[in-house]
Amino acid sequence: MSTIIEQARTLAGYETSSQLLQLRDQDWVLGRAQIQPRRLLDLGCGIGSLLQGAVERWPSLEQVWGIERSQLRLDLAREQLRHVPAEVVLQQGDLLDLPALEQRFDLISMTAVLHWLYPHEDRLFQWVARHLGEQGVFLFTSHHPVSQQGLGGEDELVAEALLAMKLVTPGHVQAHFAEAAVLPMGMRTRPRVALEALVQRHFQVRSIASRSAALRIHSIEEYQRFHAATFGTYFSPLVPPERIEEFFARLGAIAEQRMARQGHVTDIPVSVWRCVRRAEKSGA
């Protein structure tokens, strides 16, 4: 088994691959808080980079919490945060099946996670609304790839790889995704208007700031590591098991070609949402 396939299966290497996109957004997201929180919770905290950045930004933080599904990433987060002055609480958990907590938070954040919760985002929004303090802020990011026939962002590279491997014909790509029960990333994020309507069931949306998130690489191997750490084996059902290594090789070559041709691999608009609790309705 190759190193890259093992990495995909374990989602290892996120501490390196996250530097290509997620870490660039960290200061931008935290800067939208506009409060001085004492208790912070990061949902899908990964290796704890946002929590580390928050402690550096706000020395007054008393507690930082992180919830993450991957035990490997939690272990890395625990190591990264072991010297911070704030109390650190890290828990393993599925964001769509979180237990109730007694704690309430001044700031709850969630970055580069929302698309993985589709179509059940409402479950997480309900949970956040119950755990946000009276004056608390909820910050989260959403990605909106330009979708061509339901395929956007990473789907485009995957489609090119499938075509190059002669696993599909040009008119059969979308059907191949459906047959393999792989929902394209371009369909995992709701359109902004639809998402705003969903969010407003639980929060007041105070602001939405958007900017481009271009992925740039220096080598085929760097892209392969990024894909393995970020998407793992998500797209693997599209490919026969004996051709998985070829699939990753094709993805790397396609990413390198895109980088040379257009100066980036993908360029996806990302938005950071600043939300607060809905005002309580007074009784008649």
Exposure b/e, 227-255, CB count within 10 A at least 16 = b: bbbbbbebbbebbeeeebeebbbbbbbbb
Q: Quote the pLDDT of residue 16.
A: 56
Q: Block means of pLDDT (10 residues each) for the chain, length 284 residues?
A: 67 54 78 97 95 95 97 94 97 97 97 96 98 97 82 95 97 96 93 95 97 92 92 96 96 97 94 91 43
Instruction: Evaluate whether residue 80 is within a structural domain.
Output: yes
The pLDDT score that the predictor gives to residue 11 is 62
Rounded Cα gap, residues 27 and 102, in angstroms:
29
- What total of structural domains would you count in the chain? 1
pLDDT attached to residue 10? 62
In a domain, 282, yes or no: no
Q: Evaluate whether residue 229 is within a structural domain.
A: yes
pLDDT at 12: 61
**Residue 135 counted as domain residue:** yes
pLDDT value, residue 14: 53
What pTM was computed for the model?
Answer: 0.91
* Residue 23 burial (10 A CB sphere; 0-12, 13-18, 19+): middle
Residue 222 belongs to domain spanning: 3-277
pLDDT of residue 7: 65
- Does residue 259 lie in a domain region? yes
Residue 284 lies in a domain: no
Whether 283 maps to a domain, the answer reads no
Per-residue pLDDT at 26: 86
Give me the phi and psi of 270, to 5 degrees please: -120, 140
CATH code at position 260: 3.40.50.150
Q: Residue 172 is encoded by which pair of tokens?
A: 């059969």
Q: What is the pLDDT of residue 23?
A: 62
